[in-house]
Chains A and B, each alone.
Chain A
């Protein structure tokens, strides 16, 4: 970061807010698909609950519920900025949204800290933790900490997100990037943005791929799974 900051401002912004997002997304798409096709076996949540049960609860559960809520909030802000602005028209509702979001982010942070402490403290868990995990945890810490910093230091983000980040993301999506939307934002917000795209870039190289294989078909499938070598002549239905 310190090197890029010394570059001329316009190049800096273009690199970070017009090039990096595309590089990250291309990496994400190409590598995830390639990995799913050629190394499908590696798609696993790689749970370590079996090796350590108690701390796992205090790490995994708060982190996942917290981060899911926060991510959902970002997604709503991106897809339905007008809805957020409408909700925020009343100061009380804005306040409720801000506080809830911050609480969930803190929950995620506490969970992540517990996860990291658990992985450091327990020799069995260290055995199943590799370099990519440590890098990932460091990046997630930066991501969540900067997000909380933004929430505390630059309040009412749910409102200004809709008027600055959302249009910028839409400009990226329509292949007409307009860095002006984000170029003048506070540096902490910029760190949060850059860190987010770096996460997207490393996503396919890490255990994060388990997000892509969440078991939604389970909710609709039959209870039992029976696989036949070839279609049966008369397959009676089985519940």
Chain B
């Protein structure tokens, strides 16, 4: 067993209000430089929808992630044999048109335009060329199902539905939608790292954060194609790839990443989990519908004495093991089985999990009519407007049972709390719902607490980052004694 610690995340989609505060927080901190204007390390998509970049989930086109025949795991398009002949032109790389051309407005003209008969206007200009441009797309162009006949109708996940269900999703007036905030998943089996010809991408051993070494990146662009989530971005100005760094400078100071910190709906949970790195490759060879369970099996119980011993043997510091015991991610993913990985069938083992949305709980589809059945308060999840098959395609490799389990448990918690706080649902009904969802009243209370009441300290449990070790490794503390003061990179020299 090779036990490692990984900083993992949970986004609770039932709580996401789609406000994009996370995206803006991230943009202001990291990606408002030249070459990065189009990048949204954090973005929020409306589902169903084609997302950002457009149709990123369509791996028949982008060929990202891994494929397996049950024994051999290989990158879908950027394996060694395919990368070398394609190095001069990457056939599956998205171009700026697939994202959008970033623009700003000529705000100056509002103040500086010469006096005239017309009201001065701020025209849109390209942030690449500086020339006036017609805006044709943006990073969240289909927000709230805007233009859904073009965007939502082309959602790759709709392939999972039969014609009747598709029609049901397609009828705009009756369409259900929810938000999908996305950042880099900091995967256990990252295809971006595996594809990098220069070896510039790497996973930090201590916390699993995936980074790009800017000095080693040579712009071969393999990572952009290889990442099935399209979360590595090419900086057209510097000629280097960049990606979400999980705000590691903030984490190292014990603070939540900017997107977590700013989240209005408090949907974001962060904590480290222990996992067995020696089993990753075998796990990745399993068939799609087994992958959710298989990935969960990689994550180890930090309270198990055997695991603790193995973790110590693998060099995981005690403080990090203790932190894993307090991890909210472990509870959502392992203990409760509520949080699911996004597109686990890409086989990268994303370490960002999603609690699937229970939306819209009070409405059911009855033929062509949407019924807001207020008598029953909570409708049957099977009749919910977003078909479970759709959610299963997103979050469970097509295994609807995993989604059904998570939704049923969430619904039972609501019934249970309704019984306790309002009292118009009888104890028998609430308890029966819990039993059917394999959930105890204690567990239901814990889920309720972490969903609705948890403070920042409970939602974000940053493990100790052991920075002193890193610093000792990089620099001998005595190296600069009696030499340079601050402010010199190479030291002051006479010649």
Question: Could you tell me which A residues sit within 8 Å of B by CB distance?
Answer: 40-41, 43-53, 56-57, 60-61, 63-65, 123-124, 126-128, 210, 213, 215, 217-219, 221, 223-230, 232-239
Contacts and interface: CB of A to CB of B under 8 A. Distances in A.
B95 A236 contact: no
B123 to A, nearest CB: 16
Given A123-B131, A218-B80, A230-B469, A225 B196 contact: yes
A49 B221 contact: yes
B206 interface: yes
Given A49-B90, A128-B237, A218 B199 contact: yes
A108 to B, nearest CB: 12
A57 B92 CA distance: 12
Contacts of A235: 2, 315
Contacts of A47: 219-221, 234, 239
Contacts of B218: 43-45, 210, 213, 215
B194 A48 contact: no
Contact of B197 (A50, A215, A227, A232): A215
A41 B313 CA distance: 38
A239 B281 CA distance: 7
Contact of B95 (A53, A227, A230): A53
A224 B278 CA distance: 12
A232 B205 contact: yes
A49 B95 contact: yes
Contacts of B129: 123-124, 126-127
A226 B89 contact: no
Given A60-B88, A229-B206, 15 more contacts: A48-B236, A50-B95, A51-B128, A63-B88, A123-B128, A213-B218, A218-B196, A224-B203, A226-B205, A227-B202, A227-B203, A227-B204, A229-B466, A232-B315, A237-B278
Contact of A44 (B97, B131, B239, B315): B239
B473 interface: yes
Contacts of A218: 80, 83, 196-199
Residue from the set B89, B203, B470 with the largest chain A CB neighbour count within 10 Å: B89
Interface of B is mostly: loop
Contacts of A60: 88-89
A221 B239 CA distance: 24
Interface string B226-253: 0000000010111110000000000000
Contact of B220 (A45, A50, A53, A233): A45
A229 to B, nearest CB: 4
Interface in B137-190: 189-190
A44 B217 contact: yes
Contacts of B466: 229
A230 B202 CA distance: 15
Nearest to B213: A227
A85 B364 CA distance: 83
Nearest to B284: A239
Contact of A213 (B198, B237, B280): B198
A44 to B, nearest CB: 4
Given A50-B96, A228-B205, A238 B278 contact: yes
B366 interface: no
A227 B205 contact: yes
Nearest to A233: B315
Nearest to B465: A229
B277 interface: yes
Contacts of A43: 218
B201 interface: yes
A52 B128 CA distance: 12
Contact of A221 (B88, B93, B199, B470): B199
B214 interface: yes
Contacts of B1: 236
Contacts of A45: 218-220, 239
B190 A52 contact: no
Given A217-B199, A218-B196, A234-B314, A61 B219 contact: no
24 contacts: A40-B215, A41-B214, A44-B217, A47-B220, A50-B93, A51-B95, A51-B128, A60-B88, A123-B128, A124-B126, A219-B84, A221-B199, A225-B193, A225-B196, A226-B204, A227-B202, A229-B205, A229-B466, A229-B470, A233-B313, A234-B313, A235-B315, A236-B1, A236-B2
A232 B316 CA distance: 9
Contacts of A234: 313-315
Contacts of A219: 80, 84
B351 to A, nearest CB: 14
A72 to B, nearest CB: 15
B203 A225 contact: yes
A215 B89 contact: no
Contacts of A41: 214-215, 238, 240
A120 to B, nearest CB: 14
B219 A52 contact: no
A41 B200 CA distance: 12
A63 B128 CA distance: 26
B96 A124 contact: yes
A91 to B, nearest CB: 33
B428 to A, nearest CB: 51
A225 B236 CA distance: 25
Nearest to A50: B234
Residue from the set A51, A57, A210, A217 with the largest chain B CB neighbour count within 10 Å: A51
Contacts of B314: 232-234, 236
A52 to B, nearest CB: 7
Contacts of A65: 88
B88 A61 contact: yes
A173 B201 CA distance: 39
A193 to B, nearest CB: 27
